[in-house]
Amino acid sequence: ATVSATVPARIAAGDVRIALVRQLSSGDYFEQWLAGAQAEARTLGVRLEVSSGDGNNDKQALNLEQAVTAKADAIIVDHGFAQTVQPAIKKAVSAGIPLVAFDVDPGSPEAVALTQDDHRIAEQALGALKAGTGGNGEIVYVYVAGFAPLDRRNETWERFKKDNPGIKQVAQIGVVNSSTAAAVADQAKAALQANPGVKAIFAPYDEFAKGAALAVKELGLADRVKIYGADVSTADIAVMTETGSPWAATSATDPANVGRVAVRAATLLVAGSPVEHALTVPPALITQKGLRDAGITSVEQLTRAFPELTTPEVARVPWASS
């Protein structure tokens, strides 16, 4: 890191502990996000203490209570359901512990809310779906309510259907668990068999899109059913670009970059530096054609091709450049 301002004494002392309290940890998105958060913690010289509810909301709430009791210097809450995390977030705020909430409504104005631009994510993917389908046809939609980012993307989907009466949702499927892609693949197969006229699947989470891609391939429908998704990983790029892949486009941030932003925001709060109340990381639209044409096979290559996926200006740390 290039030092461009004095490191605050609180950080320079080297004993800052940031608790990262996660709802979910399995899957490409969450693994990349954590890798970015850990890398940024190393860069900034803070300790990241990671816990995961592994999809169990009570466990996540307990982990959050423990972070408050252990007087973490800052807490990052990563996903979660508002009703399970907000009571402990309130306690953290009362105890004066700075808090960053990613992809969950903290319910406390003192907390910094970090999101990806989920409406934009859905708009970009649906723009590609509209171009690919001509704005009409039967669609399978993959959604699970209660996850803030998916709920925001759902708002855009609902608006999109109103604005595009030729688009007909014939089935809604979806599950989030430790094997989301496999479960969605089974559901997608059933939905496609029940609705032979389907032209596209809107699957705005990469585990959903991977499952949908598996189903379409296994049914031999890749030439007439296309998938429009969200998120990206090196494994996703391999699925999108393989011969005959039905996954036509995805709208995504770089998850590692978002994890970095969360740690920067928490570190700034510990240092008493100003942080905007709401931080948003914008996505980019990534198409199968674009990936193939540019020969992109990894997220590292992707971020070189799309420099806007790296956002050092969001929660910029003045004493370090990253």
Range 7-66, binding ligand SR1 (CB under 6 A): 29
Residues 6+ apart with CB under 8 A from 172: 140, 141, 142, 143
- Shortest distance (Å) from residue 80 CB to ligand SR1: 10
Under the binding rule (CB under 6 A), the answer on residue 231 touching ligand SR1 is yes
The reply to whether 143 sits near ligand SR1 by the rule CB under 6 A is no
Nearer to ligand SR1, 8 or 255 (CB): 255
Distance of alpha carbon 305 from alpha carbon 96, whole angstroms: 42
147 touches ligand SR1 by CB under 6 A: yes
Please give the structure tokens belonging to residue 76: 């990052």
- The CB-of-150 to ligand SR1 minimum distance in angstroms stands at 5
CA–CA separation, 49 vs 66, rounded Å? Answer: 11
Whose Cβ is closer to ligand SR1: residue 51's or residue 116's?
116
Q: Which is nearer to ligand SR1, 54 or 138 (CB)?
A: 54
Q: What is the DSSP string of 255-316?
A: HHHHHHHHHHHHHHHHTT----SEEEE--EEEEHHHHHHHT--SHHHHHHH-GGG--TTTT-
Written as one letter, the residue type at 67 is: A
The sign one gets for the Cα dihedral 217, 177, 100, 317 is negative
By CB under 6 A, residue 149 contacts ligand SR1:
yes
Q: How many angstroms separate the Cα of 80 from the Cα of each of 84, 194, 208?
A: 7, 33, 18
Site string for ligand SR1, 87-126 (x = CB under 6 A): ----------------x------------x----------
* Closer by beta carbon to ligand SR1, 51 or else 233: 233
Instruction: Dig out the tokens for 273 from the structure.
Output: 């530096």
Instruction: Name the residue type at position 141.
Output: Y
Compute the least distance from the CB of residue 306 to ligand SR1, in Å: 16
The answer to whether 230 contacts ligand SR1 (rule: CB under 6 A) is yes
Work out how close the CB of 320 gets to ligand SR1 at its nearest, in angstroms, rounded to a whole number. 26
Residues in the chain: 322
Closer by beta carbon to ligand SR1, 29 or else 202: 29
Give the residue carrying structure tokens 């639209």: 285
Between residues 73 and 231, which has the closer beta carbon with respect to ligand SR1? 231
Q: Which of 100, 80, 62 is nearest to 269 (CA)?
A: 100
The one segment of 41-49, 123-131, 142-150, 240-248 that binds ligand SR1 by CB under 6 A: 142-150
237 touches ligand SR1 (CB under 6 A): no
- Determine, following the binding rule CB under 6 A, whether residue 228 of this chain makes contact with ligand SR1: no
Give dist(CA 250, CA 227) in Å, integer: 9
- Interactions with ligand SR1, residue window 163-202 (CB under 6 A): 176
Q: Does 205 engage in binding with ligand SR1 (CB under 6 A)?
A: yes
> In whole angstroms, how close is the CB of 77 to ligand SR1 at the nearest point?
13
Query: Quick check: 68 and 11 in contact, CB under 8 A?
Result: no
Among 150, 232, 239, 286, binds ligand SR1 (CB under 6 A): 150
Helix (H, G, I), strand (E, B) or coil at 190: helix
CA–CA separation, 150 and 201 (whole Å): 15
Which phi and psi (to 5°) does residue 212 adopt? -60, -40
**Gap between the Cα atoms of 4 and 320, Å rounded:** 6
Q: Residue 6 Cβ, how far from ligand SR1 at the closest point, in Å?
A: 35
Binding status of residue 247 toward ligand SR1 by CB under 6 A: no
Measured from the CB atom, the residue of 84 and 320 that comes closer to ligand SR1 is: 84
Contact positions vs ligand SR1 (CB under 6 A) = 29, 103, 116, 147, 149-150, 176, 205, 230-231
